[in-house]
Structure 1
């Protein structure tokens, strides 16, 4: 079995090699789902783990499974995250968790092959979930949503990007689509925090107890095209004015429902304007708005206020606001037994820890609804994320892999779910 120092060096070497795939000048990566860069990275990962003894398969929506059989015929424990990124994103988000999962699973397999007391009851599957980010194809967390039965594979395969390319066409182009299926008994995910609480407190490990609730909406605002100089304000049905008012209203809702007892976050991360001419009043605007909150009632109250404000925007702007696709998840807890197992594992390794909640969505957000799930964080320096400047130190990454290895050892030994 590799020593602690050699295992750490091997992980960091692999991480730096992986980070060259789709690298950007600013030190991040651009590997949007099923693009050439994503395909190159998926193939790189396949070559890496096959060299480590894994068997690699793909399902109907491009989820990538790296399998290690420790006990022939036994159920599988899954571990993973995602390799796709945002445009000009960070190289740690998602990809760290997939690679950490592979190295942790490899270390557990070495333990199983040794002469110690460890006797696994489960096999291991490292999963690279398709299109977690949701920037090229919507919604986010797409692959794990299909895996957990929340949306259909056919719906996903026919989903198009802004250029009209379907998911099916994109996956076929990079050769990472298949017909594999797998039942799993439990799931573990390691991720960078994408927040600053661990970094600010100097804590090594975040034990995720629950998700925030989130409502993500697509809207189309319909107005009427006109001349920006010749058309007086009273005669305008300006879709861009209406959309802008919606964005301001969302920010006001966040301020209104945030206090010492809880928080609401609202955002607009994408907007497109037609015809987008400097002398034309916009006739149509498409935008995405999301609202997130710490508890269900606060989310429901903020959501109701948001739509009340949107009705006022419709009346003032004389535009029509059409509600389109939506992606919703509730504020739910992770398995308490998993939290306790991870805390004990961190203590055994001398790693400081604290209980946290996740503001962002992760594939574990879906998985926890169908199987016992453990979610772990390592620090993000200054909380920077979805940004080329995103950073987690080598020491923190290595400590995360050490913890993940110990968690997987305990889980596969039957300390979390029954075989």
Structure 2
């Protein structure tokens, strides 16, 4: 079996874990399905003699020894958890690509075809998706020191189960000081490949993207408080229906994008909790999580301020209390120019077109780029859709990406980004462009 066919066989085998009828997967963080994919990861590593270790937030590492214990480390990977009824490519492709790319690099080192200075470590980051436990990008952010370990372990899902309990339940709660977990100060670089989740590459018919920056993101935690009452016996003028207020809030998140240049801002309400959620009760409480993203943080700030004004107005008009607080604010991150140029050189050597691209979505590499020079690569997404069951990327594009990641890892392991500063610096912003 060829290397490419071996990768495809493994990818489609993992895609069967938690598979849905419509071709997606449902394996949220620290569920039995997530455990099965992690078990698969461990078996892959063990079959190649790679030790595995789990840290205190459930990140799973496979240690690929290339130069001995004294060597520094190049990390590579992504995540195996999914959104509820999500796609089979998001995250999992990056982990499978990293496992196979690391295997190829090790084979070339052992065959004397290349020389390297650093070891490789492949990682499955815990709870990147944030579907079950908020916030997202949890495991890599704890690893990078951006989130507190104890606070994240105490985070509860909607059923009241904590991260600590869930990880213990699937056997993947590790030790914060476990031997073999690569120390942050031992990192030489990080590399991640991912589906684009947009349609720029597909529209331009370019098979690879070198990510140079990420959008500014912030969420709003919103609570709407009314009064519980009978749906039949309560007069309309006496009702304080929190769900009605929530409907107005959701529509404002849609409207706010029209106040700025087309394409400059995206927004959504991604989670709704309704109480008491009975068919014969006017709802007394609704909890929402809103999301604002733009390349320019000033647009997000202006959108947020307008929304806060609207929330006050909704509360007054509907006789409700609308509380909103800022949460999970993530500034623009800029990937090192040297890493982007490295990606372009590898693509040129492979004879594969590549273009520079931004990521509107968050990724584990965004967190890692705060502690080590990081390289982020994209392959095309058909129709630009993601976080849904019809998410799709062709076998051909996936294979191209594995070859690209292999070439990048070879150079990173040889020290291509040693001494490079991180994170990358922001280009100067123009003062126009905001309506």
Which band: TM-score by shorter chain?
over 0.9
Work out the CA distance in 1 between the residues paired with 2:49 and 2:304: 49
Aligned counterpart, 1:164: 160
Aligned counterpart, 1:403: 404
CA contact (8 A) 1:225 1:280 kept: yes
The reply on whether 1:210 has 2:206 as its aligned counterpart is no
CA contact (8 A) 1:57 1:64 kept: yes
How far has the Cα of 1:14 moved from its partner?
Answer: 0.7
- 1:245-269 CA-partner distances (Å, limit 9, x unpaired): 111111111111233xx51111011
How far has the Cα of 1:418 moved from its partner?
Answer: 4.2
CA contact (8 A) 1:220 1:324 kept: no
The reply on whether 1:92 has 2:89 as its aligned counterpart is yes
Q: Which runs of 5+ in 1 are unaligned?
A: none
- Runs of 4 or more, structure 1, over 4 Å off, are none
Q: Which runs of 5+ in 2 are unaligned?
A: 421-435
Distance 1:418 1:55, change over 3 A: farther
CA contact (8 A) 2:308 2:324 kept: no
How far has the Cα of 1:135 moved from its partner?
Answer: 0.8
Instruction: Provide the secondary structure at the position in 2 that maps to 1:323.
Output: strand
Report which stretch shifted further, 308-317 or 360-369.
Answer: 308-317
- Counterpart mapping for 1:223-262 below 5 A: 223-259=226-262
How far has the Cα of 1:278 moved from its partner?
Answer: 2.9
TM-score norm. by structure 2 comes to 0.92
How far has the Cα of 1:227 moved from its partner?
Answer: 2.5
How far has the Cα of 1:185 moved from its partner?
Answer: 2.4
Aligned counterpart, 1:9: 5
- 1:18-47 CA-partner distances (Å, limit 9, x unpaired): 111111111111110000000011001110
- 1:254-296 CA-partner distances (Å, limit 9, x unpaired): 111233xx51111011112111223322100011111111211
Work out the CA distance in 1 between the residues paired with 2:120 and 2:323: 45
Work out the CA distance in 2 between the residues paired with 1:254 and 1:50: 49
Work out the CA distance in 2 between the residues paired with 1:333 and 1:234: 52
Instruction: Provide the secondary structure at the position in 1 that maps to 2:333.
Output: coil
CA contact (8 A) 2:188 2:417 kept: no
Report which stretch shifted further, 332-341 or 212-221.
Answer: 212-221
- 1:140-186 CA-partner distances (Å, limit 9, x unpaired): 11101101111111111111111111111111111112123322221
The reply on whether 1:182 has 2:179 as its aligned counterpart is no
Work out the CA distance in 2 between the residues paired with 1:51 and 1:255: 54
- Counterpart mapping for 1:35-50 below 5 A: 35-50=31-46
How far has the Cα of 1:384 moved from its partner?
Answer: 1.6
Work out the CA distance in 2 between the residues paired with 1:134 and 1:258: 29
Instruction: Provide the secondary structure at the position in 1 that maps to 2:415.
Output: helix
Aligned counterpart, 1:195: 198
Q: Which of 19, 23, 34 pairs up with 2:15?
A: 19
Aligned counterpart, 2:222: 219
CA contact (8 A) 1:30 1:88 kept: yes
- Counterpart mapping for 1:63-212 below 5 A: 63-72=59-68, 73-116=70-113, 118-179=114-175, 180=178, 181-183=181-183, 184-212=187-215
- Counterpart mapping for 1:244-283 below 5 A: 244-259=247-262, 263-283=264-284
Work out the CA distance in 2 between the residues paired with 1:279 and 1:256: 38
How far has the Cα of 1:322 moved from its partner?
Answer: 2.6
Work out the CA distance in 1 between the residues paired with 2:49 and 2:268: 43
Work out the CA distance in 2 between the residues paired with 1:221 and 1:148: 34
RMSD across aligned C-alpha pairs, in angstroms? 1.4
Instruction: Provide the secondary structure at the position in 2 that maps to 1:291.
Output: strand
Instruction: Provide the secondary structure at the position in 2 that maps to 1:357.
Output: strand
The reply on whether 1:365 has 2:366 as its aligned counterpart is yes
The reply on whether 1:317 has 2:314 as its aligned counterpart is no
The count of residues paired between Structure 1 and Structure 2 equals: 412
Work out the CA distance in 2 between the residues paired with 1:324 and 1:162: 19
CA contact (8 A) 2:102 2:406 kept: yes
Instruction: Provide the secondary structure at the position in 2 that maps to 1:415.
Output: coil
TM-score norm. by structure 1 comes to 0.95
Work out the CA distance in 1 between the residues paired with 2:326 and 2:79: 23
Work out the CA distance in 2 between the residues paired with 1:124 and 1:38: 24
Work out the CA distance in 2 between the residues paired with 1:331 and 1:152: 21
Work out the CA distance in 2 between the residues paired with 1:314 and 1:185: 52
CA contact (8 A) 2:218 2:326 kept: no
CA contact (8 A) 2:224 2:287 kept: yes
Work out the CA distance in 1 between the residues paired with 2:232 and 2:269: 28
